[in-house]
């Protein structure tokens, strides 16, 4: 028998379930990457089995594989041209719905897809909400050529910016550098606190060798936050205010045991 859902998995599941209700038949949607986004793909797969008709642009090879597995039609962004909606997770989200993303190493494709959408909905558990961004390492995708020089330029640029820490590190996968779907490396910036996220994003993207950073500024339109007791809070900038939904989880089994952080 599958194990019961943990409180954190319950929070991710109900957030994904609520966010899946934003999706309507005929939509072209962007699918994010990460553990919470994987719950969303499973929830949408159940709806597709029940007759929902959608086409999806995944933001990583991992998400594409899972989407196909559950019966979702996968297309490229070039085929889609433009999307009705993108739903994705976040590593941190502040009170202005600015985000840090990229813990899974897919923030380049995630940002491209999100900005090619009419709306972006972010799904998260309550622990991802912060007053100020920066406790989670900020990832930047860099080209492999001269990445150490790029790292030095990044560290030099951080000296003049409003951040608490300035430690940078190449992300590894075992004994080798982590490689993104685009064939690039990732530098993780341990900043502690980001005083001016907009300025930091602009400065980082001007450094030669930096492809994209994990700050998502003025991109998120709605935030769906799940809690372990089944509550889901939705903050929609277009509608204003916060709405609440509660799902009964008694007796729920962990039917998605293969989904992990």
pLDDT score, position 261: 34
Give 130-148 pLDDT, tens digit per residue: 999 999 999 999 999 999 9
pLDDT score, position 31: 98
Cβ neighbours, 10 Å, residue 133: 25
Three-state DSSP state, 169? strand
Among residues 225, 223, 220, 221, which one has the least CA distance to residue 14? 225
- The alpha carbon of residue 46 and the mean position of all alpha carbons in its chain are separated, in whole angstroms, by 21
Consult the annotation and say whether 9 binds a ligand: no
**Distance separating alpha carbons of residues 116 and 58, to the nearest angstrom:** 13
pLDDT score, position 235: 97
Consult the annotation and say whether 86 binds a ligand: no
For residues 168, 88, 247, 125, the Cα torsion angle rounded to the nearest 10 degrees is: 10
Pairing of strands 172-173, 92-93: unpaired
55-58: strand order across its sheet: 73-74, 55-58, 28-31, 85-88, 120-125, 222-226, 231-236, 242-246
Consult the annotation and say whether 134 binds a ligand: no
**Distance separating alpha carbons of residues 230 and 217, to the nearest angstrom:** 29
Consult the annotation and say whether 89 binds a ligand: yes
Structural domains in the chain, sorted by start: 7-128+218-246 (3.40.50.1360), 138-213 (3.30.70.260)
The catalytic residues are: 110
Contact 57, 80 (CB under 8 A): yes
pLDDT score, position 222: 98
pLDDT score, position 87: 98
**Positions in the chain whose pLDDT score sits under 70:** 1-3, 250-261
Consult the annotation and say whether 183 binds a ligand: no
Consult the annotation and say whether 36 binds a ligand: yes
Among residues 154, 84, 94, which one has the least CA distance to residue 128? 94
pLDDT score, position 82: 98
Consult the annotation and say whether 38 binds a ligand: no
pLDDT score, position 75: 98
Contact 134, 127 (CB under 8 A): no
pLDDT score, position 255: 45
Q: How far is CA 214 from CA 71, 137, 193, 210, 257, in A?
A: 30, 9, 14, 11, 28
Consult the annotation and say whether 91 binds a ligand: yes
pTM above 0.95, yes or no: no
Contact 190, 168 (CB under 8 A): yes
Three-state DSSP state, 48? helix
């Amino acid at each position: 028998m599958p194990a019961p859902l943990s409180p954190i998995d319950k929070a991710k599941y109900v957030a994904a379930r609520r966010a899946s209700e934003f999706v309507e038949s005929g939509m072209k949607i962007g699918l994010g990457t990460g553990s919470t986004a994987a719950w969303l793909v499973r929830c949408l797969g159940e709806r597709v089995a029940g007759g929902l008709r959608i086409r999806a642009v995944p933001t990583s090879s991992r998400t594409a594989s899972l989407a196909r597995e559950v019966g979702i039609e996968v297309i490229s962004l070039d085929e889609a041209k433009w999307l009705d909606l993108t739903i994705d997770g976040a590593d941190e989200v502040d009170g202005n719905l600015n985000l840090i993303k990229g813990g899974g190493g897919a923030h380049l494709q995630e940002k491209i897809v999100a900005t090619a959408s009419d709306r972006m909905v972010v799904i998260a558990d309550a622990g991802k909400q912060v007053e100020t961004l920066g406790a989670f390492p900020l990832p930047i995708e860099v080209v492999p050529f001269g990445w150490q020089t790029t790292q030095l330029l990044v560290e030099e640029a951080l000296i003049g910016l409003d951040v608490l820490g300035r430690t940078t590190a190449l992300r590894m996968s075992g004994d080798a550098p982590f490689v993104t779907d685009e064939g690039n490396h990732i530098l993780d910036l341990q900043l502690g606190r980001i005083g001016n996220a907009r300025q930091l994003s602009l400065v980082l993207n001007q450094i030669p060798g930096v492809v994209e950073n994990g700050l998502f500024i003025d991109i998120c339109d709605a935030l769906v936050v799940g809690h372990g007791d089944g509550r889901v809070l939705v903050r929609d900038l277009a509608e204003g205010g916060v709405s609440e939904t509660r799902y009964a989880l008694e007796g729920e089994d962990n039917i998605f045991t293969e989904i992990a952080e």
